[in-house]
């Protein structure tokens, strides 16, 4: 049975990583259940294992090196971060499928956005979930990222996870080249005009869709 934790106060990044690592060890040792931890961070940048120094344009917030995959990203208030700690070996057997797991995370976000009438899409060669901005007054071919994905796996237990933009300050992305992609922007549910959606509604949709996709 998966435990759901929702943190109301902002959680410092290093404290979150420490807590995840402790829980990963406990899950691996069968001393704790799998968990989805929902939270928000204070404004900060993280650099994944593929991050390039040149993509940090303006270190206006603390920068943390992260063991997750991916490049630079921003976290801050108004963004729902969901850290997903699952035992892939128990779920998938002796040949865990990491790519398959990431596809499930993508599908989780896509279905959640669809609950609010937003069409989130995958893009070949680009991590995360994207929105065609032409439907929102943008030019033809204009796209923006609405959700990021970055995972790490230790002894087949997953951690880190996804981040969905509800209403963060999008100007804060200006300090980095988000995920190393300079030709496309970022957006949020509120930026798309869905200002009546709050974190409670987003969390409700995330929980519902997670259970249908991961059967828990």
Closest CA to 131 of 140, 143, 142: 143
User: Active-site residue among 35, 151, 179, 205?
Assistant: 179
State the pairing for strand pair 79-85/35-39: antiparallel
CA 127 to chain centre: 11
Written as six digits, the tokens of 88 are: 């892939």
SS3 annotation, 15-78: HHHHHHHHHHHHHHCCCCCCEEEEECCCCEEEECCCCCHHHECCCCCCEEECCCCCCEEEECCC
Whole-angstrom distance, CA of residue 192 vs CA of residue 141: 16
Closest CA to 108 of 8, 23, 208: 208
**Residue 182 a catalytic site member:** no
State the pairing for strand pair 3-6/35-39: parallel
Residues recognised as catalytic = 179
């Amino acid at each position: 049975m998966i435990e759901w934790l929702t943190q109301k106060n902002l959680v410092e990044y290093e404290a979150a990583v420490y807590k995840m690592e402790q829980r990963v060890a406990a899950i691996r040792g069968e001393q704790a259940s799998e968990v989805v931890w929902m939270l928000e961070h204070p404004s900060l940048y993280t650099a994944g294992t593929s991050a390039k120094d040149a993509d940090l344009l303006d270190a206006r917030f603390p920068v943390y090196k992260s063991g997750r995959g991916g490049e630079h990203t921003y976290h801050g208030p108004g963004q729902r971060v969901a850290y997903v700690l699952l035992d892939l070996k128990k779920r998938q057997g002796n040949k865990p499928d990491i790519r398959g797991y990431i596809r499930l995370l993508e599908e989780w976000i896509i279905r959640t956005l669809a609950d609010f009438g937003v069409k989130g899409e995958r893009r070949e060669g680009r991590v995360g979930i994207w929105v065609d901005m032409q439907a929102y007054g943008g030019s033809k071919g204009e796209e923006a990222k609405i959700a990021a994905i970055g995972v790490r796996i230790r002894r087949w237990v997953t951690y880190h996870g996804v981040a969905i933009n509800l209403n963060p300050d999008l100007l804060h992305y200006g300090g980095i080249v988000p995920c190393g992609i300079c030709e496309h922007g970022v957006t949020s549910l509120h930026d798309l005009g869905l200002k009546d959606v709050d974190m409670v509604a987003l969390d409700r949709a995330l929980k519902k869709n997670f259970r249908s996709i991961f059967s828990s």
